[in-house]
Amino acid sequence: MNQILEKMHEIGIIPVVVLNDAKDALPLGKALIEGGLPCAEITFRTKAAEESIRIMSENLPELLVGAGTVLTTDQADRAVLSGAKFIVSPGLNPKVVQHCIDKNIPVAPGVVTPGEIEKALEFGLKVVKFFPAEPSGGLAMIRAVGAAYTALKFMPTGGIHPGNAAEYLKSDKVHACGGSWMVKEDLITAGAFDRITELCKEAAQIVKDTRK
């Protein structure tokens, strides 16, 4: 499997980040590293996304930085130019997926249904996002659909929290979980980076405990 995807599996929980101001990118990146979750999926929901990816990638080589909520090929290009090492989308947009494959950048599009999964398989993908995880049936749904598609791994995101992350991570169908609970917007805007580090440490411990 691709090295970046391997690394995401190793980290186990991928912080899904909304940054409103690129000035927060550096302290946030440092907090993630210190907390033992050296990864950030920076969502293209704000104007600060591109610049934040650039700042993190240029200054924090030990942080694995990717782009989330990538809806267009143009956003994928801007993310990669800024230094993103992986692309995540909420749904499976064939144009975006093909574009990322052509550019040789790992892409995890969001899927829920067997039809969407089969599209992902046609592209040769090994890992997909399962989104929104909890409202779409959670682990029970992953187990049910996953049984039919033995080679595919899922990154459940949406509704994952410290109380259910371990259960997801224990499943051999789950590649890694995505979640925003440790990097909530209000914590970032309040500059509560120590608290973010603490929450990351707790999350990293959950990963460790499930992989003993």
Could you list the residues that contact ligand 3PG (CB under 6 A)?
16, 131-132, 157-160, 178-181
Could you tell me the smallest distance in angstroms from the CB atom of residue 73 to ligand 3PG? 20
Could you tell me the smallest distance in angstroms from the CB atom of residue 57 to ligand 3PG? 21
Residue 116 designated active-site? no
Could you tell me the smallest distance in angstroms from the CB atom of residue 40 to ligand 3PG? 13
Euclidean distance between CA atoms 90 and 106, whole angstroms: 15
The string of DSSP letters for the chain reads --HHHHHHHHH-EEEEE--S-GGGHHHHHHHHHHTT--EEEEETTSTTHHHHHHHHHHH-TTSEEEEES--SHHHHHHHHHHT-S-EE-SS--HHHHHHHHHTT--EE-EE-SHHHHHHHHHTT-SEEEETTTTTTTHHHHHHHHHTT-TT-EEEEBSS--TTTHHHHHHSTTBS-EEE-GGG-HHHHHTT-HHHHHHHHHHHHHHHHHHT-
User: Which residue number, 94 or 135, has a Cβ lying nearer to ligand 3PG?
Assistant: 135
Could you tell me the smallest distance in angstroms from the CB atom of residue 146 to ligand 3PG? 19
Residue 129 designated active-site? yes
User: Which residue number, 35 or 178, has a Cβ lying nearer to ligand 3PG?
Assistant: 178
User: Which residue number, 58 or 135, has a Cβ lying nearer to ligand 3PG?
Assistant: 135
User: Which residue number, 57 or 157, has a Cβ lying nearer to ligand 3PG?
Assistant: 157
Could you tell me the smallest distance in angstroms from the CB atom of residue 134 to ligand 3PG? 7
User: Which residue number, 124 or 135, has a Cβ lying nearer to ligand 3PG?
Assistant: 135
Q: Residues 41, 85, 153, 173: which is the catalytic one?
A: 41
Q: Residues 50, 85, 129, 153: which is the catalytic one?
A: 129
Buried b (16+ CB within 10 A) or exposed e, 120-130: beeeebebbbb
